[in-house]
Structure 1
Amino acid sequence: MRRKRLTFAALSALLILGGPGMAGTLPAAAAGRAPGSAGPSVTAASVEPASDGVVTAMQRDLGLTRKQAESRIAAERTAAAVTPKARRAAGNAYAGSWFDAARGRLTVAVTPDASPDTRRALRAYGAEIRTAGHTARQLDAVKTRIDRLSAPSGVSGWHVDPVANTVVVDVVRRHRSDNDVRRFLDQARKAGAVTVRTVSAAPRTFAAGTVGGDPYYTGNVRCSIGFSVYGGFVTAGHCAQPGAGVSGWDGSYIGTFQGSSFPDNDYAWVSVGSGWWTVPVVLGWGTVPDQLVRGSAVAPVGSSVCRSGSTSHWHCGTVLALNETVNYSQGAVHELTKTSACAEPGDSGGSFITGDQAQGVTSGGWGNCSGGGETWFQPVNEILNRYGLTLHTYTG
């Protein structure tokens, strides 16, 4: 299915930006700063109401009523804005935080030695408080030690779980008894607080062979555009190496991969030209209206998140973990965010967005959009920092 044309709102954004007529599939967006300025600009979540399309998709994928979806979006915006303030307020006692969907507010974990003043400050921000045994810094150190190990293919990944206050190591069920997996788990447990979880399948990337009518191609590989930056767009690193040429959905030349990293990371950026340009939009593929992007405030664990890709189009889920190391067959990739949103081959590089805030680009996962699964994305702010790019956002 060839993508729908941009909605009236997106087209208005083009007119305000002074761009000529649309030449091809140019998706997502970023944090607004003047072209040429270094580094990303992360803005607080917008007070704009959620679009009908986002609300409808959350009703479908998360099993919510319309009122529940609207209330959750508003609460998640508040939680995203409060998270960095709460972390600063907790100081050395900070043990992690997450969005509690049932309560509709941010929960902050602190160690038993957190002072009364610290707890009062957190409550003043509207946060729930939970006591935990390990600080976030201690758990991050455990994960870093595990990152130095060589993981067998039967280990699919590991991440800090702030709710359980431990580092969770995921093992593919059929490999749980493998000797190399057992040896890895023995080493991992020596690193500190570790819990082992069994998962049904190993992750894979979501690139695909060439088919007609989708966003961009490199050789015989199809991937999805992520978010627009000034001068190009960001996407997944496993889609191509630096210097690779890129063609659009209509077969015309878009530009070139200027930077790419995979494994270790899974990000890349493509410069655009030849009549193509960038717009601050995530495609809705006719499932929902195209979404304007107004910033890149990070959604905490527990928040809803939606994904746009050239194969499965638009689907929503929940943020399950931050800063996870994922062990693909090609090698480990670090600092990914795990979600319950589904994806399929060809969706690689596509946009993850919460409300109107850009989150990251699709890396990989397991399952599909018929039977369900999990996905990971590379956070967009990390990509911007790595390449000195500026996200393109709508500021109207």
Structure 2
Amino acid sequence: MKRTTPLRAALAALLMTVGLGAAAGAADAAPPPEPSTAAPAATAGLLDAMRRDLGLTAAQAEERLRAEKTAAAVERAALRTAGSAFGGAWFDPDTGRLVVALTDSAEAPAVRALGADTRLVRYGAAALDRAAARLDALGAPAGIAGWHVDPRSDSVVVTVVRTERETPAVRAFVDRARAAGPVTVAESAGAPRTYAAGTVGGDPYYTGNVRCSIGFSVYGGFVTAGHCGGAGAAVRGWDGSAMGTFQGSSFPGDDYAYVGIHSGWWTVPVVLGWGSVPDQLVRGSAEAPVGASICRSGSTTHWHCGTVLAKNETVNYSQGAVRQMTKTSVCAEGGDSGGSFLSGDQAQGVTSGGWGNCSSGGETWFQPVNEILGRYGLTLHTA
């Protein structure tokens, strides 16, 4: 990436020192290997951010990162082992272990042998996914914030905006949702909105009169949010110079995009820490389980942390519904759209939208990065 300020020059020098620089044209690089379950490198700044936003000591944050990395590997193994009996999984921060829901108790011993706790449920992942798909086919009113499969309650959680709960349109949608399958109703203090405002993760870029944030470097460019620009739109970098072009974009339905960069810019496997934490290296994209800690970098509110609240949520924006999103307790504001979500050193997704702000709190959704990589045939730039 093109960099001229002292901060950016220092970053470039650091990358050269540790041998991370790479040409943007290296599109034939091999995909990253599966990460180990060893504890990810945790800088003092990252531990400070987790202490600030999650109420942990440095030692607790370090232990949690180690446990979450193990849980991510156990979840992949549990999915293979349980097969059709798999009912979803989540990380329990109190025990530091993954909990796997099962529809057949006969699979429990094999799953527990992997290092997970188990819970017997009635419906399971496949049935709940079918119920959520039936909701996706319904037209949702503005008072419905979204819905997602929740393995912890063994139901599809429909989230309504608190002030709209008793309106006829919302009540009618909830009734139709309950007819579609097992449904639990939750409340949100605000309605979801996107975070665009009038290639290092978190860095700003501009298209038209909109400012958004870079998600993650891929060979040849970066990934970001689709609502930030349509295919063919020109992109200017943080310094105002021509940076690249949207090669692909999808919104609503999805909220992801791929920007190809011009000569003079290059990609690096780094997410900006904005001085709150050191700049973070990206080493892979292993998906973190529900309940895991997660941090976000964006060009407006910089670095904030929280936890993964839900996966595969349909978010009902005013512009249209976006599916297969991940919900977090992290705050964000205008201009943070497209920015990076990390769990430890693993890329998770790009910021889409949410409600609230970083003064009073809120919730934010991201589009999972592995879906974006697969959609456009991209390779994540990793350290």
Same fold by TM-score greater than 0.5: yes
Inter-partner Cα distance in structure 1 for 2:170 and 2:223? 35
Aligned length: 374
Alpha-carbon contact 1:50-1:355 (below 8 Å) kept: yes
Shift of 1:186: 1.2
Is structure 2 residue 208 aligned with structure 1 residue 219? yes
Alpha-carbon contact 1:236-1:363 (below 8 Å) kept: yes
Alpha-carbon contact 1:253-1:274 (below 8 Å) kept: no
Residue aligned with 2:71, SS: helix
Which of 147, 156, 175 is residue 158 of structure 1 equivalent to? 147
Question: Structure 1 residues 276 and 340 mapped into 2: Cα distance closer, same or farther (>3 Å)?
Answer: same
Task: Quote the RMSD (CA, aligned, Å).
Answer: 2.1
Question: What is the match of residue 43 of structure 1?
Answer: 34
Is structure 2 residue 70 aligned with structure 1 residue 86? no
Letter in 1 for 2:141: P
Letter in 2 for 1:153: A
Letter in 2 for 1:223: C
Inter-partner Cα distance in structure 1 for 2:277 and 2:380? 23
Question: What is the match of residue 320 of structure 1?
Answer: 309
Question: What is the match of residue 185 of structure 1?
Answer: 174
Question: What is the match of residue 202 of structure 1?
Answer: 191
Inter-partner Cα distance in structure 1 for 2:33 and 2:195? 28
Which of 36, 59, 62 is residue 70 of structure 1 equivalent to? 62
Is structure 2 residue 329 aligned with structure 1 residue 340? yes
Shift of 1:273: 1.3
TM-score by length of 2: 0.93
Q: Can you list the C-alpha shifts for 1:86-129, whole angstroms capped at 9, x where unaligned?
A: 11111221111000001001011112x331xx222211111011
Inter-partner Cα distance in structure 2 for 1:300 and 1:7? 36
Map residues 204-353 of structure 1 onto 2, 5 A cutoff. 204-209=193-198, 215-353=204-342
Shift of 1:73: 0.4
Inter-partner Cα distance in structure 1 for 2:261 and 2:63? 39
Shift of 1:46: 6.3
Question: What is the match of residue 102 of structure 1?
Answer: 94
Inter-partner Cα distance in structure 2 for 1:76 and 1:268? 28
Question: Structure 1 residues 124 and 374 mapped into 2: Cα distance closer, same or farther (>3 Å)?
Answer: same
Question: Structure 1 residues 42 and 18 mapped into 2: Cα distance closer, same or farther (>3 Å)?
Answer: closer
Of the structure 1 ranges 225-234 and 52-61, higher mean CA displacement relative to structure 2 is found in 52-61
Question: Structure 1 residues 147 and 330 mapped into 2: Cα distance closer, same or farther (>3 Å)?
Answer: same
Is structure 2 residue 127 aligned with structure 1 residue 138? yes
Letter in 1 for 2:34: T
Residue aligned with 1:208, SS: coil
Is structure 2 residue 105 aligned with structure 1 residue 114? yes
Is structure 2 residue 49 aligned with structure 1 residue 57? yes
Letter in 1 for 2:148: H
Inter-partner Cα distance in structure 2 for 1:352 and 1:255? 22
Shift of 1:301: 0.1
Inter-partner Cα distance in structure 1 for 2:5 and 2:94? 36
Shift of 1:44: 2.2
Gapped regions of structure 2 (runs ≥ 5): none
Residue aligned with 1:286, SS: coil
Residue aligned with 1:201, SS: coil
Of the structure 1 ranges 189-198 and 344-353, higher mean CA displacement relative to structure 2 is found in 189-198
Alpha-carbon contact 1:225-1:235 (below 8 Å) kept: yes
Alpha-carbon contact 1:99-1:106 (below 8 Å) kept: yes
Alpha-carbon contact 1:55-1:66 (below 8 Å) kept: yes
Alpha-carbon contact 2:203-2:214 (below 8 Å) kept: no
Alpha-carbon contact 1:342-1:372 (below 8 Å) kept: yes
Letter in 1 for 2:74: V
Q: Can you list the C-alpha shifts for 1:214-252, whole angstroms capped at 9, x where unaligned?
A: 621001100000000000000000001111110111111
Gapped regions of structure 1 (runs ≥ 5): 21-25, 27-33
User: Which of structures 1 and 2 has the larger relative contact order (alpha carbons within 8 angstroms, sep 6+)?
Assistant: 1
Q: Can you list the C-alpha shifts for 1:245-269, whole angstroms capped at 9, x where unaligned?
A: 1011111110000100000000001
Question: Structure 1 residues 18 and 167 mapped into 2: Cα distance closer, same or farther (>3 Å)?
Answer: closer
Letter in 2 for 1:216: Y
Residue aligned with 1:301, SS: coil
Question: What is the match of residue 149 of structure 1?
Answer: 138
Alpha-carbon contact 1:175-1:181 (below 8 Å) kept: yes
Alpha-carbon contact 1:45-1:295 (below 8 Å) kept: no
Residue aligned with 2:163, SS: helix
